[in-house]
Structure 1
Amino acid sequence: MKNSLVSIIMATYNRAHFLEETLKSIQQQSFSNWELLIIDDGSADGTFELIQDFIRKDARIKYYKRSTSHKKGLPGCRNQGLEIAKGDYVIFFDDDDITHPLLLELSVHELEKNSVDYCRYLRTVFKGEFIYDFNYSIDYLLSILTIKNLDQIVTGAVPLNSCQVLWRKDCFQTHRFNEDLMYAEEWELYARILSEGKIGVNIEKILFFGRKHLHSNTGEFGNKKKIRIDSYIKAILLTITNLKSKNLLNHTLKHFFIRLGFRLNSIIIIKNILNATNTGELEKIKYIFGFKMYPILRPIFYMKGKILKF
C-alpha cells in the first residue's frame, strides 16, 4: 500500500471561495501518496492565484487549464485528468466538498485487501459552514458489490455519487465521460463500467461530505434548469441502450426508467424503455395513455398519498 499512488482529479470553475477549504481537507489525508490534478475550466475569480500558493508549498498539487481538445464542462475536465493521471487508483473530488482524513487510507486498504476493482464508501451532505467533527473509528461493516447489485446502483438504492468511489485506474482504460452530458455524466459512465461485471467493496462509513448550494449542478437540476434536465434525459437513453446491449434490463429497471419518464415528463424515455424490453402493444398503450393523462391524475395521486399518510 505504501507504493500505491492515488490520482485525485478535480475539475474547477469559479469556486475560489470554496476551493481553499477543500484543498486543505485533502492535505489532511492520513494516506499521503497522492497527486491532485486540478483542471481549470476557465475560472476568472482568482482561482489560479489561490492554487499557485498551494503549489509552491506542496508539489503533489498540480494545475492545468482545460485543453481545447476537450469540451467545456465537468466531463471534459475529468477526461483530461484521466489522460494525465499517473496513479494506480483514480478518484474524483468536487471543488467545494470536504473529505474525511481517513478516506484514502481506508479505501486503498480495503481495495487492495479484497483485490477488487473499486471501493465505495458513504457520503453525506451539508449546508453552510462545515463542522469538523470526524468519526475516526475503523469499526465499520464491509460488503462486496457485484453485477447482482447493478440494479441497486442504477436506481440509486445504493448511491454511487461521482465523489463516492475509488477506482482502479484500468477501469477507465476504454471508458471516458461523455462530454456532451452536463448532468448525470458520472451515473451514465459508472453504469457503463459496472455493467461489465466489475467487483467492488463497500465501506459502511461516511468518508465524504458534499456541500449543498444552489449553484451546483445538482442544485441547478433541482431548480429545473433546462440544460441539466435535457442532459439527464440523454444519459438515461444512453444507459438504457447500454444495458439492453448486455441483456441486463429486467423488471426492476424497466419500471424505474418508466417512473423517470413520468418524473421528467419525457415520453421518449417511456417509449424507449418499452421498446427495449419488448413490451407488448397493450401494455405500451396503457403507459402512453397514462402519460397523456398524468397531468390530470397527478394531483389526485398526490392528495391520495397525503390522505393515506394522515
Structure 2
Amino acid sequence: MTDLVSIIIPVYNREAFLKATLNSVRTQSYHNWECILVDDHSTDASLSLLKAFEEEDSRFKVLIRPDDRPKGANSCRNFGFEHATGRFINWFDSDDLMEPEFIQKKLAAFDAETDIVLSKTRIYYVADQTEVLEQRTHLTLNLLEDFITRKISWYLPDPMYVKSFLCKHNLVFDEQLLGGQDRDFFQRVLLNNPEMLVINDYLTTYLCKLPLKPNCLEV
C-alpha cells in the first residue's frame, strides 16, 4: 500500500519532548506521510522547533490554531484534520514516541472493509524507568458498553482511521470539552459501528511523567 497517511499532532509547550517525538515520525519505515503540527500558541520554544523540522523535511506542515477557535488540544486536532490530505488519519500526542513500523504495520492490516486499525501502547514511567503493556486494547462483542465501563480501552495514538469513515459520520472532537476528550470521541466513533481490528503490536510509547502509576492508566 502506498497511500498518503496524515499524522496530526497538537502542540502546546512541549519543548522538552518534541524532538524525540518528531524524530520518531521522521524515521518511519513507511515514507508516504504528512505530519500536520498544530501549535496552540505555545509560550516556550515549541513553535521554533516545529518550524525547524518543517524546514528540514517538507512532510512536516506547521499550523497555528486560529484565534477564533477555542484554546485546547481538541480544536488543534480538528483544525489539523481540516487540512489533512491523506487517505488515512492518525492523531498522535506531542510527547509520545512511534515505533519505526508504526505506520507500516497498521496500513498492512487494512482491507477493503476495515474502517479502523488499532495497535497497542506501552506506558513508560519516566520517574522509575519501568513500563507497563496496556492489556485492555482488544475487541469484544459489546464494544460500546465495554468501552464505557473500561473493560476495554485504547489511547489516542492507537487508532488509524480511514478518512472517508470519519467524514461520512461527521466525527470530530468536541472543542468545548474540558476533560474526557478522547473518551467522548471514541464513544461517538463506536456509536457508528465501525469495522475494526486490533493488531498485537505495541507501536506507541506513552511517556508518563506523573509519579503515581494509576494516573497514567485512567484512559
TM bin (shorter chain) = 0.7 to 0.9
Unaligned runs of 5+ in 1: 132-142, 223-231, 233-310
Structure 1 segment 153-302 matched on structure 2, within 5 A: 153-173=147-167, 174-214=170-210
Equivalent of residue 126 in structure 2, options 102, 125, 128: 128
Alignment partner of 1:106 is 2:105: yes
Bigger proportion of residues as strand:
2
Which residue number corresponds to residue 72 of structure 2? 73
Rounded to whole Å, the distance in 2 between the matches of 1:159 and 1:220 is: 13
Q: Of the two, which has the highest radius of gyration?
A: 1
Q: Tell me the alpha carbon deviations over residues 195-245 of structure 1, each in whole angstroms, 9 at most, x when there is no partner.
A: 111110111121111111249xx95998xxxxxxxxx9xxxxxxxxxxxxx
**Shift of residue 153, structure 1, vs aligned partner:** 2.5
Which residue number corresponds to residue 15 of structure 2? 16
Is the 1:146–1:197 Cα contact (8 Å) retained in structure 2? no
Rounded to whole Å, the distance in 1 between the matches of 2:217 and 2:206 is: 16
Which residue number corresponds to residue 49 of structure 2? 50
The residue type equivalent to 2:121 in the other structure is R
Unaligned runs of 5+ in 2: 130-136
**Shift of residue 146, structure 1, vs aligned partner:** 7.3
Percent sequence identity is: 28
Rounded to whole Å, the distance in 1 between the matches of 2:216 and 2:101 is: 31
Q: Which has the higher contact order (CA 8 A, sep 6+)?
A: 2
Is the 1:10–1:37 Cα contact (8 Å) retained in structure 2? yes
The residue type equivalent to 1:209 in the other structure is T
Bigger proportion of residues as helix:
1
Q: Paired residues, what number?
A: 208
Rounded to whole Å, the distance in 2 between the matches of 1:25 and 1:199 is: 28
Rounded to whole Å, the distance in 2 between the matches of 1:43 and 1:153 is: 33
Structure 1 pair 104–220 and aligned structure 2 pair: CA distance change class (3 A): closer
Rounded to whole Å, the distance in 2 between the matches of 1:147 and 1:36 is: 34
Instruction: Give the TM-score normalised by the residue count of structure 1.
Output: 0.62
CA RMSD of aligned residues (A): 2.7
Rounded to whole Å, the distance in 2 between the matches of 1:171 and 1:69 is: 27
Structure 1 pair 207–220 and aligned structure 2 pair: CA distance change class (3 A): closer
**Shift of residue 160, structure 1, vs aligned partner:** 2.2
**Shift of residue 103, structure 1, vs aligned partner:** 1.1
SS in 2 for 1:50: helix
Structure 1 pair 118–71 and aligned structure 2 pair: CA distance change class (3 A): same
Q: Tell me the alpha carbon deviations over residues 173-202 of structure 1, each in whole angstroms, 9 at most, x when there is no partner.
A: 112111111221121111112111111011
SS in 2 for 1:45: coil
Is the 1:121–1:205 Cα contact (8 Å) retained in structure 2? yes
